[in-house]
Amino acid sequence: MSDPISTISTLLEPVFAELNDGEPADPTVRPSDRADAQINGALPLAKRRGVNPRELAQAVVDSGVLAGFASDVEIAGPGFINVTFSTEFLTSQLASISDDPRLGVPQAVVAKTVVVDYSAPNVAKEMHVGHLRSTVIGDALVRMHVFLGHDVLRENHIGDWGRPFGMLIEHLIDLGEDVAADGLTQGDLDGFYKAANAKFSESEEFQVRARERVVLLQNGDEETARLWHRLVDMSTAYFDAVYSKLGVLLTDDDLVGESFYQPLMGRTVERLSEAGLLEEDDGAKVVFPPGFTNRDGNPLPLIIQARTGGFNYATSDLTCVIDRVERRGADLMLYVIGAPQQQHLQMVFKVSEMAGWLTEETEAVHVPFGNVLGDDRKMLRSRSGASVKLVDLLDEAVDRAGQAVAEKNPNLSAEDRAEVARMIGIGAVKYSDLSTDRVKDYMFDWDRMLAFDGNTAPYLQYAHARICSIFRRADIDRASVRNSPIVPEAPQEHALALRLLAYPSAIDATLQSFSPHKLSTYVYELASDFTSFYEHCPVIKADERTRSSRLALADLTARVLAHGLDLLGIEAPEQM
RNA sequence: GCCUCUGUAGCUCAGUGGAUAGAGCAUCGGUUUCCUAAACCGUGUGUCGCAGGUUCGAUUCCUGCCAGGGGCGCCA
């Protein structure tokens, strides 16, 4: 790995082990604001061995392993070792990544089959801000796992089955298929759903028809199936349009809806029964996973088959686990689903373990996230109080970005401006979602996310555009500078170099916790380090040797910046 | 009642078993014969919700409490 912190950490391990009678001891190397890195491991080790920490720190320094990497090493305070990396060392590390398409990030040692479950809108229902987080976070996690060389299976678990489909199909018939199709493809899904729902609550005759239609659907009636398909197709075409606007990787090939699991659920129940887990409780078939209690302190069941004989989402989710493990060969399953589902998923995972479907070799992880809030600190709603349509949100973002671009850079052609506005607007929405810790709620604020200062997509994109601009101005092909040595002499160059080399660590930390905001923070710090460099270190006007070094440093920065943004699903324009 | 998440600067948010807890915004003050000033530089800001405990060292780990959100059987 290119990161100097991990490089010296690895080199120090044997030194620490030797000072600990051969037992491994963590050197605890961290970035530091007093130097480039601080080695903290001497303190706990000295305590454990009952020796003076400063003397132990001295012994670490005397081992000589830091000599080849550091321009300065000092023991400070009770026994911290502060290390400043030498320019020569940074130059050599940068040389190893500056012409590397992977930018120093190693492939995963073991390629896993990773299933990512995300987005999951409902057929005949509008996509709203609630779907934004799952879709955007899931997409980023997919991109990162793919980059590391894992075999990633995207799964969009759409709601395409269940009781509401009786009423939806009947409403489709009432409207006339083609009339309905017009409205639905234009994205008026909410209108359709609400009208069906209203009829259902008003008309007994309609209720009867809807219920009969559900039975027909479940029994595989041909005409009903055709109508159902039509409904699903219209919805998925609409979803595709939204995904395309949003710029996520999901396609129709990734659709694995509720309906897919219907024919398999009977077998799931049988297998639970064969495993001796199934119990009869109040007429329902249930499993009691240990560790879950209800309001009254009694064991809480996972309901597998309702009293009426119907299956529910627990059955479906269990069947889904079986499918992913046994058919798709999943090693890791990520469920990018809102925090309220936590208990349900924990119960599903527990029962899956009890049944032997989830073993130690297969990891299932709930990747929860909080809500999108309005400035009133409540769930984001439109002025009328309705949930906000995702497409409207995205269109407004592009629109607002377009106004800003027109104002700030009138020289762009209308065509370029539209394209840049799209990148900025969509990027801003995605970045504001990805850049805060996903488990928390975040506040949706147009002005903040579209600002060109602070931790925002436009700021990052602007840094990238400025680098591209340097090369345009100098009329130099970016690829041509990738073999020039980078000699980071100025403090801003030194800081930027260190940051660039830390890219693999940032990705590693991000995937360790499935937290895209860690990569976001890294990319922001990188952009920030670059702008500081940009202000203090002239590139084009520098003398020849410095100029070629700075050009190479700028190019590398642009590539890491664009690459990091791409892993987040955000585009980096060359001018804006 | 039980479970779970959250609580860090005026605001929005990072952060870590280590040394004086950091950014951005907002405030104030500077910087443009110079590669995009959509920027940069400087400036102030804290009982890290409260109380205990573990530790050489806790904002970070553990326990309890307080406040807010979410969840807790036949919808998905």
- Which of A229, A247, A265 is a domain's end point? A247
Model confidence at A248: pLDDT above 80 = yes
Query: For residue range A62-101, what is the model confidence (pLDDT) as tens digits?
Result: 999 999 899 999 999 899 999 999 999 999 999 999 989 9
Q: A197 lies in a domain?
A: yes
- Side-chain-facing half-sphere of A246: CA atoms under 13 Å: 34
Q: Is residue A208 part of a domain?
A: yes
C-alpha–C-alpha distance, residues A508 and A9, integer Å: 15
How far, in Å, are A379, A381, A575 from residue A437 at the CA level? 17, 22, 30
Residue A363: closest CA among A204, A475, A512: A512
Query: What is the average per-residue pLDDT within A394-416?
Result: 93
Domain ranges, residue A206: 164-247
- Residue A179 predicted with pLDDT over 90: no
- State the DSSP code for A377: S
Per the structure, the count of domains in chain A is 2
Q: Find all residues with CB under 8 Å of A550, minimum gap 6, and list them.
A: A493, A537, A538, A539, A542
CB atoms within 10 A of CB A55: 12
Give chain A's mean pLDDT. 94
pLDDT at A186: 62
Evaluate whether residue A228 is within a structural domain. Answer: yes
Taking only the tens place, the pLDDT of each residue in A480-495 is 999 999 999 999 999 9
pLDDT band at A151 (very low <50, low <70, confident <90, very high): very high
For the stretch A500-517, pLDDT in tens is: 999 999 999 999 999 999
Q: What pLDDT score does A235 carry?
A: 92
CA of A433 to C1' of B30 (A): 35
pLDDT of A187 strictly over 70: no
Closest CA to A429 of A141, A154, A139: A139
Residue A41 lies in a domain: yes
Residue A11 forms part of a structural domain = yes
In a domain, A500, yes or no: no
- Structure confidence by residue, pLDDT tens digits, A283-321: 999 999 999 998 888 999 999 999 999 999 999 999 999
pLDDT given for residue A498 in this prediction:
96
Distance in Å, residue A179 CA to nucleotide B27 C1': 58
Average pLDDT (A46-57) is 92
Q: What is the ipTM of this complex?
A: 0.96
Among A50, A85, A120, residue at a domain's last position: A85
Spacing of A532 CA from B33 C1' in Å = 22
* Residue A404: nearest nucleotide (C-alpha to C1'): B38
Cβ atoms A34, A77 nearer than 8 A = no
The candidate with the shortest Cα–Cα distance to A41, out of A65, A17, A22, is: A17
| Rounded (10°) CA dihedral A258, A260, A263, A267 | -80
Cα(A467)–Cα(A482) distance, integer angstroms? 14
| Domain-located, residue A288 | no
Round to a whole number and report the distance in Å from the CA of A296 to the C1' of B1: 7
C-alpha to C-alpha distance for A385 and A304, rounded to whole angstroms: 36
Q: Is A379's CB less than 7 Å from nucleic acid strand B?
A: no
Q: Tell me which DSSP letter residue A475 carries.
A: T
Q: What are phi and psi of A455, to 5 degrees?
A: -80, 75
Task: Determine the pLDDT at residue A216.
Answer: 94
A185: pLDDT strictly greater than 70:
no
pTM exceeding the 0.90 threshold for the entire prediction? yes
Q: CA A43 → C1' B18, Å?
A: 9
**Interatomic CA–C1' length for residue A30 and nucleotide B16, angstroms:** 10
**How much is the average pLDDT of A145-170?**
96
Which nt is closest to the CA of A317, judged by C1'? B76
What residue is closest to B70 (Cα–C1')? A340
* Max CA separation in chain A (angstroms): 89
Confidence of residue A190 (pLDDT cuts 50, 70, 90): confident
Q: How confident is the model at residue A551 (pLDDT cuts 50, 70, 90)?
A: very high
Would residue A241 count as lying in a domain? yes
Q: A366: Cβ under 7 Å from strand B?
A: no
Query: Backbone dihedral region of A413: left (phi > 0), alpha (psi from -120 to 50 degrees) or beta?
Result: beta
Q: Domain ends where: A247, A262, A295?
A: A247
Flag whether pLDDT at A9 surpasses 70.
Answer: yes
- The residues of A between 24 and 53 with beta carbon within 7 Å of nucleic strand B are 28, 30, 32-35, 38, 40, 43-44, 47
Per-residue pLDDT, averaged over A268-276, amounts to 97
User: Which of chain A's residues 557-576 bind strand B, using a 7 Å CB cutoff?
Assistant: 575-576
Q: Which residue is nearest to nucleotide B2 (CA to C1')?
A: A295
Is strand B in 7 Å reach of the CB of A508?
no
Position A247 scores a pLDDT of 97
Using the 8-state DSSP alphabet, how is residue A301 labeled?
P
CATH number (domain holding residue A68): 3.30.1360.70
